Amino acid sequence: MAVADIVVRQAEFFRTEQQGHRHGAELGVTKPTKPDDKVLRFLQYRSWPGNVRELKNVVHKALVLAHGYPLDLAVIQGAVEQASLPQPEIKPTLYGYVSDLLETADRESGTNVEASVTEWFERELYGQAIRLAEAIVDAIPCAEQVRFTSSGTEATFFALRVARAFRGRDKILKFEGAFHGSHDYAMMSTEGQQPSELPRAVRGSAGIPQSLENEVLIAPFNDLDQTTAIIERYHQDLGAVIVEPFQRMLSPVPGFLQGLREVTAHYGIPLIFDEVVTSFRFAYGGAQEYYGVIPDLAAIGKIVGGGYPLAAVVGKAAMMSAFVQPNEDGVAIGQVGTLNGNPIAAAAGLATLTVLRQPGTYQRLHELGQQLRAILQATLREHHVAGQVLGDGPLYHVVFTPQPIHTYRDTLTGDTQKQRIFHREILNHGVLKPTSKGYISLVHSDADVAETAKAFDAAMAQVAHS
Ligand SMILES: Cc1ncc(COP(=O)(O)O)c(C=O)c1O
């Protein structure tokens, strides 16, 4: 069977699958169990920077964009326009199925269909993802290689998996109150959970197997002594330590991240920074650049996809290689995802990074954050309300307690009634802030800051009287 036939038949199969197999029998299409050898040959694995793609996804993902219905296509088309993807060049993926592409390639290059298709895959479909991977490697200190996922949840999940595969141990250590997404490991001892006797983990969602409590250890963020003691006791079982370098609303106390880096390096335990929030936000190189501590692996998300579903695991090549090299039992890591490295999201991410590289971006974000935190502090003082202003970079928050806040348990001393009133009242004055931390962005103007200051003042008056 010719290469073109295989690709077209696969396109037809997936189209049929989407229709619920209604026409499968008529077409006589059967699900290809594996791409044919010839397909594999023309889509030879290329050592793209950061192992952006694995070969086996290439055929399948081409077809995800290839088999569309008019409504889907219109939506995708709109997104493509917004993402400034080159229209004429993306059209084959949207309109023509792969068969059109092959016909064009046939016409233009005579017998060299295979080379044309390979080049097309790289240029049109994965070019965006490859360029984004290169930009990430340039930006983030620990990023020697990149694996794309569609969400931050997947990024922390796979960062933990690759760390465990590299280290060959099962347990992980996370911090009390930290949030790493909604997978089973991430939802142990999260914010809102009753504290346990450390390092015992508490399941933070229904449906998490009880047995996972034995695989997750919990340490107190910002308490280096206690954290070090737990790591020293369990180091032989630990496959990874994962930390939000800026945990929810808690800045790291001086020396905490450095100490964590030292003790994990000492025992050879992979250190993962969850930078889903902080990457490209605290600095272009994320919290690791901002705080000057370089982890082995990091999960990045949110900004890197420019508002589209894209996230990534990044890290040192020595560890990331566990994604592609089977372990000593001959078992490799499974990390496939239909939409990984999605070209539309990658284009949106690339466009976003271009904006963020403009001179003055981070200075502006930090200045605005600093201004809002100072205003909030002054408002507390003026209204004689006991509270702690938290935050860093463009993030801010307030907890109504007289007690200084460094750890997750400190945050539990906050007056939740006052917090509810504050957030309700600023909303009544036109300022929407999540009840967790507030995020400032580049579109916020000085006028917005002035408006927010007024809302803080009015809301604090209500808090003072509560
Ligand atoms: C620190 C952190 N890690 C992971 C996640 C999960 O990311 P996503 O919502 O993209 O799955 C979030 C989401 O807010 C987050 O704040």
- pLDDT at position 124 is 60
SS3 10: helix
Same domain (yes/no): 374, 456: yes
Mutate to test the pocket of ligand 1, among 151, 153, 273, 280 (most ligand atoms within 8 A of CB): 153
Same domain (yes/no): 156, 227: yes
Asked if residue 274 has its Cβ within 6 Å of ligand 1, the reply is yes
Tell which phi-psi region holds residue 220, choosing left (phi > 0), alpha (psi between -120 and 50) or beta: beta
Last residue of a domain, one of 105, 125, 145: 125
- pLDDT at position 62 is 33
Domain range for residue 78?
3-125
Same domain (yes/no): 116, 171: no
Same domain (yes/no): 194, 322: yes
Tokens 């509810």 locate to 420
Q: Are 165 and 309 in contact (CB under 8 A)?
A: no
Q: For atom 10 of ligand 1, which residue has the closest CA?
A: 152
Last residue of a domain, one of 98, 125, 152: 125
- pLDDT at position 191 is 85
- pLDDT at position 127 is 77
Asked if residue 126 has its Cβ within 6 Å of ligand 1, the reply is no
Per-residue confidence at 50, pLDDT binned at 50, 70, 90? very low
Overall number of domains in the chain: 3
Same domain (yes/no): 312, 415: no
Tokens 């999605």 locate to 342
**Average pLDDT of 203-229?**
97
Same domain (yes/no): 170, 264: yes
3-state helix vs strand vs coil in the chain, percent to 5: 50, 10, 40
Question: Beta strand 171-175 with 388-392: parallel, antiparallel or unpaired?
Answer: unpaired
Same domain (yes/no): 312, 169: yes
Asked if residue 244 has its Cβ within 6 Å of ligand 1, the reply is yes
pTM over 0.85: no
**Ligand 1 atom nearest 309 alpha carbon:** 10
User: Under 8 Å CB-to-CB from 93, ≥6 apart: which residues?
Assistant: 62, 65, 66, 124, 125
Q: Are 156 and 299 in contact (CB under 8 A)?
A: yes
**Average pLDDT of 14-22?**
35
Ranges 91-100, 240-249, 283-292, 367-376: which has the least confidence:
91-100
Last residue of a domain, one of 331, 356, 381: 356
Q: What is the DSSP string of 57-84?
A: HHHHHHHHHHS--HHHHHHHHHHHHHTT
Same domain (yes/no): 40, 134: no
Q: Where are the beta strands (DSSP E) in 301-455?
A: 311-315, 388-392, 395-399, 438-439
pLDDT score of 15 more than 70: no
Q: 170: CA distance to ligand 1 center in Å?
A: 23
**Average pLDDT of 196-206?**
94
Asked if residue 250 has its Cβ within 6 Å of ligand 1, the reply is no
Same domain (yes/no): 238, 212: yes
